Amino acid sequence: MSELLSVLQRCGIAVGEIQGGALAVRSPVDGAELARLRETSPDEVNGSIAKSAAAFLKWRMVPAPVRGELVRLWGEELREARRDIGWIVSIEAGKIIEEGLGEVQEGVDICEFALGLSRQLHGKTIVSERPGHRIMEQYHPLGPVAIITAFNFPSAVFAWNAALALVCGDPVIFKPSEKAVLSGLATFRALERAIARFGDRAPDGLAQIVIGSAPLAEMLVESPSIPLVSATGSTRMGRIVGPKVASRFGKRILELGGNNAMVVTPAADLDMAVRAILFSAVGTAGQRCTSLRRLIVHRSVKAALLAKLLKAYADLRIGNPLVAGTLVGPLIDQRAFDALQHAIATAQQQGGKVLAGGQRMLAEEFPNAWYVRPAIVEMPAQTAIVREETFGPLLYVLAYDAFDEAIAIHNDVPQGLSSCIFSNDLREVETFLSAAGSDCGMANVNIGPSGAEIGGAFGGEKETGGDRESGSDAWKQYMRRTTNTINFSKELPLAQGINFS
Ligand code: UN1
């Protein structure tokens, strides 16, 4: 416990803040209570929204490259605190140390990306059909952005959104998952330290945090003062948030469930495929939106691939994520374990054969934690349970004969986040990437579906939500576009050649 207190203290979280509140935070590593935080009251949330709206009026007038300086400082703070925040992510979300560090690195990376972006928020100049006229676009700050995140990326997803929002001229209000508040709070404190260093160029209320459960998030979702809501979580959550934001004509970025697959063809390098499967199916104990959940393998290579894979699964080091060398940590809670058991049992009822895993592990050492041996279940077809996202280390194996069939199986799920193909056959690869190929937001070749870099746009189609965040031109969603037509002639010609006299 004392190690936790000193790490939290170094991250700017005082002892008094984590005691005596009603919101209990537990570690999935051993089930122990880590903290009891005070929940933000509804009045305070209203106050935060008002402050954010006031901050916007000032922040939008700070030149974007100056706003970039703030995220540069945030990147420095995150770099400095990387070990501490990574460790908090590990004890709070159950990630192995490497993955905790990797998550904070995503925050550092997006700050650097956003710094460069702060000098590149440009629109187009467009030729006019009228003489002596010019059309141009400008991107202006949008307003306060609410960022609602999930337990599995409690630091990085806030950073992806906040770094972009801040350079785009938008204040942020952050509502971290109540299952991983400390990681969110530590990341937020790093931003507060950057704001303090940035000085009085940052208006009061530029970045705020709301701690508590769903009703507080709902206040943000429903507030007309918040033009953009970015929410990461389940499709069930998105079905509630999406229509509420739409009904007030707000904008939203929804990052919801995935059911990510890998197609392995006879032209694949099977050893590479096995390594990619391992990281993406069992890494983070299968609790990434991008985790590999379906393996669609050609019948002729299925036996060879499974033999290699089962051997690799048998050697997996499962256990305390804080111990060096562990590859698979715990599930977040008992609910996640029960959902996994339910999915395996249902898959069996639907004709599935369990080839490996599914058993609870380390129950004696950690009676209040939920470790599980990653499971592989061979399915006769893509049945109903395979089409659902189960958030844990459960990999379904499906066989195909013709390549078209592989793509049809691949796309026949409601979700559309990430996907990949393992093949060295140009025709197969290009078909997979083509309009008639993978219908996901991300489609990879000879790498797994998870572990995306921040430079690309991140997100997916269908029930994944349809939006993008992080790199490429995702920044445009945090701004409002104006189209300006300028007449520098002495005439007043009308568009479409209309004569109005
Ligand atoms: C998520 O699981 O919510 O691509 C985000 C990845 C990470 C982000 C995942 N960069 O796996």
In a mutational test of the pocket of ligand 1, which residue from 153, 160, 161, 332 has the highest number of ligand atoms less than 8 Å from its CB?
153
pLDDT number for residue 8? 97
pLDDT number for residue 2? 84
**Alpha helices, DSSP H only, in 127-213?**
156-167, 181-198
Return d(Cα 401, Cα 265) in angstroms, integer: 10
Question: What's 204's DSSP letter?
Answer: T
Ligand 1 centroid to Cα of residue 257, in Å, is: 11
Give 3-state DSSP helix, strand, coil % of the chain, rounded to 5: 45, 20, 35
- Going by alpha carbons, the residue nearest to atom 1 of ligand 1 is 289
Question: Measured between alpha carbons, how far is residue 391 from residues 336, 341, 418 in Å?
Answer: 7, 11, 15
- Going by alpha carbons, the residue nearest to atom 6 of ligand 1 is 451
Residue list, ligand 1 pocket, CB within 6 Å: 106, 152-153, 157, 232, 288-290, 450-452
Q: What is the CATH number of domain 260-445?
A: 3.40.309.10
- Pick out the chain residues at pLDDT < 50: none
% of the chain residues with pLDDT over 90: 99
Question: What three-state secondary structure class fits 138?
Answer: strand
Instruction: Yes or no: say if 81 and 111 are a contact pair by the CB < 8 Å rule.
Output: no
pLDDT number for residue 477? 98
Torsions phi, psi for 407 (to 5 deg): -70, -40
pLDDT number for residue 403? 98
- Going by alpha carbons, the residue nearest to atom 3 of ligand 1 is 289
The model's pTM = 0.97
pLDDT number for residue 349? 98
Give the fold, CATH level 3, of 42-256+465-483. Answer: Aldehyde Dehydrogenase; Chain A, domain 1 (3.40.605)
Indicate which residues carry an active-site annotation: 255
DSSP code per residue over 210-264: --S-HHHHHHHHH-TT-SEEEEES-HHHHHHHHHHHHHTT-EEEEE----EEEEE
pLDDT number for residue 455? 97
Question: What's 318's DSSP letter?
Answer: B
In a mutational test of the pocket of ligand 1, which residue from 108, 155, 256, 290 has the highest number of ligand atoms less than 8 Å from its CB?
290
Domain limits of the chain?
A: 42-256+465-483, 260-445
Crossing angle, helix 64-80 and helix 82-93, to 10 degrees? 70
pLDDT number for residue 1? 55
